[in-house]
Structure 1
Amino acid sequence: MAKKLKALLIGDAMIVGSEFQLAAQKYLSGFTSEVKVSDWEPDWQKLQARRLEVEKKGPEIEEVDALIKAEGKDAELLAGLFLPISSKVFDAMPNLKIAGVSRAGLENVNVKEATKRGILVFNIEGRNAEAVSDFAVGLMLSECRNIARAHFAIKNGQWRKAFSNSSWVPELKGKNVGIVGFGYIGRLVAQKLSGFGVNILVYDPFVKPEDVSAAGATLVEKDKLFSDSDFISLHARMSESTKNMVGAKELGLMKSTAYLINTGRAGLVDEQALLSVLREKKIAGAGLDVFLDEPLKPDSEFLTLDNVTLSTHIAGTTKEALTRSPEILLEDISKLLQGQKPRFVINKEVLEQPAFKEWLAGVQQ
């Protein structure tokens, strides 16, 4: 008889634990003996502040969640969204075998320590890809066509016609759009822009050239992308190697009529260098959904600039992106437990560890 698992499902203000519970009932009911549910941070504003700090500094800065302290000792499966999954969590869950987050980012998971302890880590890709790619195109149009600025002016009793880019307000047709990072989101941006008649340039050192060509795009070096593009949209993963990958050098290569769009991670861009080129109007403008400090401080220079469109880290927040993600995660975990091949395992080497193989065989019987 197959072994049944105890699972802890810990949501937050963005995706509550009950959503994970519904997904578990759909995909894990045949594998679980007990399921405990809670929310790590149920306050929306506090969640935004805490998750940002975890993304900057890693999960070890947070204390262990109360449910994990109370129920984690004999649990073998842990799932959540922004829940910090640290070495302290692993200490409190000595029998843990699977840890999953229903997001693409892994900033809140200590993957290295999980691998060392034989814990298989899952994330998901594509949860908010449609949402973010839609938003990136929208932010591009809003910034270059002054949509948000015109709206703000009307709301404040002005019928504004003159803007900082009035002498070169662009159409998209025939323009070069540079996409930095050609994963799922980057490819969707390229696909959605194809109807505008743009030329797509791609910088991604990890992508296959034939995949770029198949998408109707051109693979180029980073310097060429920054010097030749009229719009640049950032979709690279955040890591030590990509931190501040867009700095003074790259921004200095951009045309004075070009726009930078960032719906990815704030850390991809040297924020002070960006403020400098915007202040001096060395580029036409920027559309930003992510910032090093969120929410922006009242004295942020971004609030004083007239050539930037700002949004509140909402690119990936749609009804569909939120409701589908627990199901994507727990369905993938269920594939593993059924003896099928899962899509989203991060540390595949754990699958070859003898202790994990023995445990999995007991679950799959």
Structure 2
Amino acid sequence: MSKKMKIMVIGDAMIPGKDFESAAKKYLSDYVEEIITGDWENNWDNLQRRRLEVEKKGPEIEEVVPLIKEKGQDVSMLFGLFVPISKETFNYLPKVKIIGVSRAGLENVNVKEATQRGVLVFNVQGRNAEAVSDFAIGLLLAECRNIARAHYAIKNGQWRKEFSNSDWIPELKGKTVGIIGFGYIGRLVAKKLSGFEVRRLVYDPYVSEEEIRECGCIPVDKETLFKESDFITLHARLTEENKNLVGKYEISLMKPTAYIINTARAGLIDKEALIEALKTKRIAGAALDVFWEEPIPSDSELLELDNVTLTSHLAGTTKEALTRSPELLMEDVKKFIEGQKARFIVNPEVLENQEFKKWLEGVKK
């Protein structure tokens, strides 16, 4: 019989703690004697503000969650979504061996500290991939076909027929779409676009040309993608290396009839370069679901432009993406404990930690 342990689940306004608790009961009941359940931030607006700051600056900017301070002493596993797990947090979790977040991003977890302390970290890759890939294509169509602008005009008493791109409103068939970043989301976008009969270019220096070709796409360098694409859609993770990946130079390579779509991270684009290109109509338009400051400031120049479609960071938010992710996380942890291949381990070097090995053996007995 396995050793029973205490676990803690901390949800928020996006995925409440009770949903993590249900998933834990479904998959980990054989290993758990107590589930401590709570929430980090229950106000939606506050959550968006706080999580964005954590994504920019790391978990160290937040105070340790009170529930962790109060009840973390005997917790072996901690699960959540956006809950900040800083270096100091580990001081209140002396027995923790597994930490899991039901998202792909790890900005809210100090993974380096976890690794040094022999704590195995899990995340969930692709939890919202279907949602984001759907949304990216939706934004592409909305921008080039003026769907949102026509809706807004009708709601305000106008029957609008003339738009910034009226001289070259495109059909997708026969066009070239450039995909930057060819992880799970980028590949789904490519797959879904195949039905539109478009030529698909891919730039991702971390994916082999063979893999890209196997998906029916054409591997190219960055310059070629910007020069030849009618649409460019971003699906890369934001790192120090690719910050401002789309800058003044890259935009200068684009066709004047081309569009750029961003459902990834705002920092991939040089804000000033993009605004200038839109103002001068250097490019046809843009569609953005992510911003350099959220909510977008009321004095932002983007609000004055007629060739940009804006949405409020909605791409990954569907019922399925939210309800699915805690179960994906708990299921993967269960597989790991039971000796099966786990998909979502972030720091596998911890598996060689002697203390961790001893703990895992105790759990399995």
TM-score bucket of the superposed structures, by smaller chain: over 0.9
Q: Which residue of 2 aligns with 1:277?
A: 277
- The count of aligned residue pairs is 365
CA RMSD, Structure 1 to Structure 2 (Å): 0.7
| Deviation at residue 352 of structure 1 after TM alignment | 1.1
Whichever residue aligns with residue 152 of structure 1, its letter is Y
TM-score (norm 2): 0.99
Deviation at 1:279, TM superposition (A): 1.0
| Structure 1 residue 328 displacement after superposition | 0.2
For 1:158, the equivalent position in structure 2 comes to 158
Q: Tell me the alpha carbon deviations over residues 254-281 of structure 1, each in whole angstroms, 9 at most, x when there is no partner.
A: 1110000000011111111111111111
Q: Which amino acid aligns with 1:8?
A: M
Rounded to whole Å, the distance in 1 between the matches of 2:138 and 2:361 is 48
Matching of residue 315 in structure 1 with residue 315 in structure 2: yes
| 2:29 alignment partner, SS class | coil
Partner SS state of residue 340, structure 2: coil
Q: Take 2:330 and 2:241, find their aligned partners in 1: how far apart are those partners?
A: 31
- CA–CA separation in structure 2 for the residues paired with 1:336 and 1:4: 16
In the TM superposition, what whole-angstrom CA distance separates every residue of 1:192-211 from its partner, at most 9, and x where no partner exists? 01010100000000112111
Deviation at 1:78, TM superposition (A): 0.4
Residue 222 (1) aligns with residue 222 (2): yes
Alignment match, 1:287: 287
Deviates more, 1:205-214 or 1:317-326: 205-214
Judge conservation of contact 1:180–1:203 (CA < 8 Å) in 2.
yes
| Counterpart position of 2:8 | 8
Measured after TM superposition, the shift of residue 2 of structure 1 is 2.7
Q: 1:215-248 CA distances to partner (integer Å, 9 max, x unpaired)?
A: 1100000111011100000000111112111111
Measured after TM superposition, the shift of residue 37 of structure 1 is: 0.3
Residue pair 1:339, 1:364 contacting (<8 A) in 2 also: no
Read off the aligned partner of 2:124 and give its amino acid letter: I
Question: In the TM superposition, what whole-angstrom CA distance separates every residue of 1:160-214 from its partner, at most 9, and x where no partner exists?
Answer: 0110000000000111100000010000000101010100000000112111111
The answer for the alignment partner of 2:127 in structure 1 is 127
Please tell me the residue identity of whatever aligns with 1:204: D
Other-structure match for 2:76:
76
Separation in 1, partners of 2:269, 2:347: 28
Tell me the TM-score normalised to structure 1 length: 0.99
Q: Structure 1 unaligned segments of length 5 or more: list them.
A: none
Q: Secondary structure at the match of 2:260?
A: strand
**For residue 99 of structure 1, what is the aligned residue in structure 2?**
99
Gaps of 5+ in 2: none
Q: Distance in 1 between matches of 2:110 and 2:276?
A: 35
SS at match of 1:29: helix
Identity %, equivalent residues = 65
- Distance in 2, Cα, partners of 1:59 & 1:27: 28
Mapping of residues 131-150 of structure 1, within 5 Å: 131-150=131-150
Alpha-carbon separation, structure 1, partners of 2:340 and 2:216: 34
Partner of 2:362: 362
Q: Which AA in structure 2 matches 1:14?
A: M
CA distance, structure 2, for counterparts of residue 109 and residue 328 of structure 1: 18
Provide the rounded CA distance (Å) in 2 between the counterparts of 1:15 and 1:47. Answer: 11
Match of 1:324 in 2: 324
Q: Which runs of 4+ in 1 moved over 2 A?
A: none
* 1:182 is aligned to 2:189: no
Cα offset, 1:15, TM superposition: 0.3
SS in 1 for 2:148: helix
**Which deviations, in whole Å up to 9, do the C-alpha atoms of 1:38-74 show, x marking residues without a partner?**
0100000100000000011011100011110111111
Match of 1:334 in 2: 334
